[in-house]
Amino acid sequence: MKIVLTPDWFLGKDVIIDVFSFIVLLLFFILSFKNYKLDKNKKFLFLGIGFGLISLAQLATIMTKLVLYFDTTFTKQIGQAIITYSVIKTVDIFYYLGFFFYRLFTLLGLYIIYKLPLEKEHKKDFFLALFFIIVISILSQDLTYLFRLTALILLLFITRNYYVVYKKNKSKKTLLLVLAFGILATSQIMFALSRQGSSISVIANLWELISYIILLTLIIRIIYHHGKKKKQNGYNIRYISNSSRKGRKH
């Protein structure tokens, strides 16, 4: 049975894409956590946890793929039944555990990001959602499309949430966020169809890479935009001061 749908020529390159995604997600986690330390706004903390979980998911898939690719080569070189058997067992454990945590952390992270704009959240709702996420993560071992479908639905809801934010603030940065999550959502459809042909898996990986490039662009714009801010005159000082003072309490 073929356990990785990626074509042979793309093996390794997909790991590079995963490493890139991991770094981008880690940057969002770090920035969210830094903002939480500055402002103590719990929404930063939860956003950070969301991105942190997805980055952990990426790490799990990177480790699993590395072990899978490495062990396969090792098995070919040794070519003895007993050793091969034990290697396959190691691969099996890594495969099941690694990809299980990938699915679990991805869905959990996406769920947290999706729930963030909603004002109230009951604890029992979260535990109910957690239960279903664990069930889906287990069942998706054989039914891969179930994981992809769940991720697609969550990503579509997240995209919708950020589109609502964009309609209010008309910010180009929020538009980038909408675009990135939208592309990430459509990549799930491609991943779900990967069994139809290995080239679809390659396209899905590349499509996913585009969304992470957009997210990296966004983070660069947030970090460096203020560093290059032009010096303003006295009139603007007063304007900035008054506008940011809206609603503040003495």
Partner 1 sequence: MDIISDILAIVQEKGGSIKPTHLMYKANLSHTQMKLYLEELMEKGLIQKDTSDEKLLMITKKGRDFVLKYHQMKDFEDTFGL
Binding residues vs partner 1 (CB under 8 A): 31-32, 34-35, 38-39, 41, 43-44, 47, 116-117, 161-162, 164-165, 168-169, 171, 173-174, 177, 218, 222-223, 225-227, 229, 231-232, 234, 236-238, 240-242, 244-245, 248, 250
Rounded least distance, CB 156 to partner 1, Å: 17
Tell me how far, at minimum, the Cβ of 231 lies from partner 1, in Å.
Answer: 7
Whole-angstrom distance, CA of residue 165 vs CA of residue 45: 19
Axis crossing angle, helix 144-169 with helix 172-192, rounded to the nearest 10? 160
Sign of the CA dihedral running 198, 208, 21, 220: positive
With respect to partner 1, which residue has the nearer C-beta, 123 or 250?
Answer: 250
Nearer to partner 1, 76 or 250 (CB): 250
Distant-in-sequence, close-in-space partners of 130: CB < 8 Å, separation ≥ 6: 108
The smaller minimum CB distance to partner 1, of residues 195 and 225, is found at 225
Nearest to 126 by CA among 138, 108, 140, 103: 108
Dist CA 187 CA 2 (whole Å): 21
52 or 98: whose CB is closer to partner 1? 52
Min dist. Cβ of residue 225 to partner 1 (A):
7
Give me the least distance between CB of 148 and partner 1, in Å please: 25
Reference 95, options 35, 132, 22, 144; nearest CA is: 144
